[in-house]
């Protein structure tokens, strides 16, 4: 029986959580959950000059937002800690001495270097397949520094030591680390430890083929939460950046992804980031939400925007009208603000385009009279009366629709007019019509 799977995500707290890092964390998390293994969060915080508490918190917040709970690590503990490299100095010294005593290290200008064996390194990568690297030439593969003159440790050394100490069985990381793996394998060999299985996943590229940088929109996980994305939708999107479930499904529940996830189905070629696709996916998730779920998600967004929506019961029918038009939760305030305003704010362009048209105010007066006579305020009754007014007035229905929409909402674009007026209610609709007439006649 093979050893239980243990994987890790090991970010450095020197900046926000990048979507590339989040995708790496996600793939490790999926692999652990699929295999019934352990997912370890390890913080590589040895770069004291660049580490920040804000970056550390961004890692924790981003992973929690995406639902990537770790089994061992900060805030969780575990039997293989500490889980901050800055707290593991004694461990590194012990392994350093072991390598030095074994004749694998030599001093060079105050730093310590690891002496590579000059041979061909063969790797069986879980994603890249068979890889061979000839390290015979010291000019192209010079001996590796593992400790600086100031006593600071180099990434390669502490990374390997931590993987040994934490019992990591599989390392899934970006293929920009593929060139580091032969170095790491030599360290494992020198320490007489069986290395983990490595799988190097493709990088994430922009649509123009350039590497996604920190300056690109959507590169930070926190950006998605701030801009109205659902965490489940972003997680679904990241699952498909470099992994294929081998079917035509794009909208996948995370439980289903856990069942389907197979490292063998990770693509070898680079994944192309498409923010428009992520927005589409987010919209599909919004459409799948129950009315109550959407109201719960919308409430904090509306509170932040200062929109007094009242009760959830009052909010639900409004959201039902506009939900098909929303790609992000952050768009909700702009679509619903006029439902909850005491007085409509008229868009100047809408006024010029609609109210300044000859006969517009006469049509609005006719609608006001006709709507006042409606006994049962329903969208079919509203529609029938508006069309009757258009027939009597001898103009197209659209002429009455446009003037009614601007009078009721202040704008030319919105949800279905008849349903909008039904939700607004008869009294509020007529009051808005009267105000429009008073202001623009």
Residue whose token pair is 């299985």? 197
Q: Which of 214, 387, 396, 426 is catalytic?
A: 214
What does the pLDDT look like over 171-210, one tens digit per residue? 999 999 999 999 999 999 999 999 999 999 998 988 888 8
Under 8 Å between Cβ of 410 and 345: yes
What integer pLDDT is reported at residue 118 of this predicted model? 97
What integer pLDDT is reported at residue 247 of this predicted model? 85
Provide the 10 A C-beta neighbour count for residue 381: 16
Residues of the chain with pLDDT under 70: 1-2
Q: SS3 breakdown of the chain: % helix, strand, coil, rounded to 5?
A: 50, 15, 35
Classify strands 204-205 and 271-272 as parallel, antiparallel or unpaired. Answer: parallel
Catalytic residue status for 214: yes
What does the pLDDT look like over 387-425, one tens digit per residue? 999 999 999 999 999 999 999 999 999 999 999 999 999
What integer pLDDT is reported at residue 208 of this predicted model? 82
Residues pairing with 271 in the sheet: 204
* Gap between the Cα atoms of 84 and 43, Å rounded: 5
What integer pLDDT is reported at residue 1 of this predicted model? 40
What integer pLDDT is reported at residue 296 of this predicted model? 94
Classify strands 111-114 and 6-9 as parallel, antiparallel or unpaired. Answer: unpaired
What integer pLDDT is reported at residue 2 of this predicted model? 60
Model pTM score: 0.91
- Plot region of 209 (φ>0 → left; ψ -120 to 50 → alpha; else → beta): left
């Amino acid at each position: 029986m093979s050893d239980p799977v243990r994987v890790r995500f090991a970010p450095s707290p020197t900046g926000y959580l990048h979507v590339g890092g989040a995708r790496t964390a996600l793939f490790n998390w999926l692999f652990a959950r699929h295999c019934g293994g352990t997912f370890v969060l390890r913080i590589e915080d040895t770069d004291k000059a660049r580490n920040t508490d804000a970056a550390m918190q961004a890692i924790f917040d981003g992973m929690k937002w995406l639902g990537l709970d770790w089994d061992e690590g900060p805030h969780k503990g575990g039997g293989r800690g500490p889980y901050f490299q800055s707290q593991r100095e004694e461990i590194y010294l012990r392994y350093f001495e072991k390598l030095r005593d074994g004749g694998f290290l030599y001093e060079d200008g105050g730093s310590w270097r690891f002496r590579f064996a000059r041979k061909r390194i063969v790797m069986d990568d879980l994603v890249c397949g068979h890889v061979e690297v000839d390290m015979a030439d010291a000019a192209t593969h010079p001996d590796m520094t593992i400790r600086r003159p100031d006593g600071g440790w180099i990434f390669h050394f502490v990374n390997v030591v931590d993987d040994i100490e934490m019992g990591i069985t599989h390392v899934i990381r970006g293929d920009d680390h593929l060139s580091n793996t032969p170095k790491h394998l030599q360290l494992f060999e020198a320490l007489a430890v069986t290395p983990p299985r490595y799988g190097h996943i493709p990088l994430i590229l922009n649509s123009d083929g350039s590497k996604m940088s920190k300056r690109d929109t959507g590169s930070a996980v926190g950006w998605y939460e701030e801009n109205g994305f659902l965490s489940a939708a972003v997680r679904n999107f990241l699952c498909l950046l470099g992994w294929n479930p081998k079917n035509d499904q794009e909208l996948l529940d995370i439980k289903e992804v856990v069942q389907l996830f197979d490292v063998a189905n990770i693509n070898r070629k680079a994944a192309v980031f498409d923010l428009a696709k992520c927005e589409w996916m987010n919209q599909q998730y919004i459409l799948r939400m129950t009315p109550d779920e959407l109201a719960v998600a919308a409430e904090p967004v509306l509170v932040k925007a200062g929109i007094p929506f009242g009760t959830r019961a009052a909010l639900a029918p409004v959201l039902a009208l506009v939900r098909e038009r929303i790609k992000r939760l952050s768009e909700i305030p702009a679509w619903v603000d006029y439902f909850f305003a005491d007085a409509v704010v008229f868009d100047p362009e809408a006024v010029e385009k609609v109210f300044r048209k000859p006969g517009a105010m006469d049509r609005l007066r006719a609608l006001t009279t006709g709507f006042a006579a409606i006994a049962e305020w329903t969208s079919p009754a509203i529609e029938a009366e508006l069309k009757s007014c258009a027939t009597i007035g001898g103009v197209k229905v659209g002429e009455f629709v446009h003037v009614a929409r601007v009078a009721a909402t202040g704008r030319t674009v919105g949800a279905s007019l008849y349903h909008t007026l039904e939700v607004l209610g008869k009294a509020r609709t007529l009051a808005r019509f009267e105000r429009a007439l008073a202001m623009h006649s």
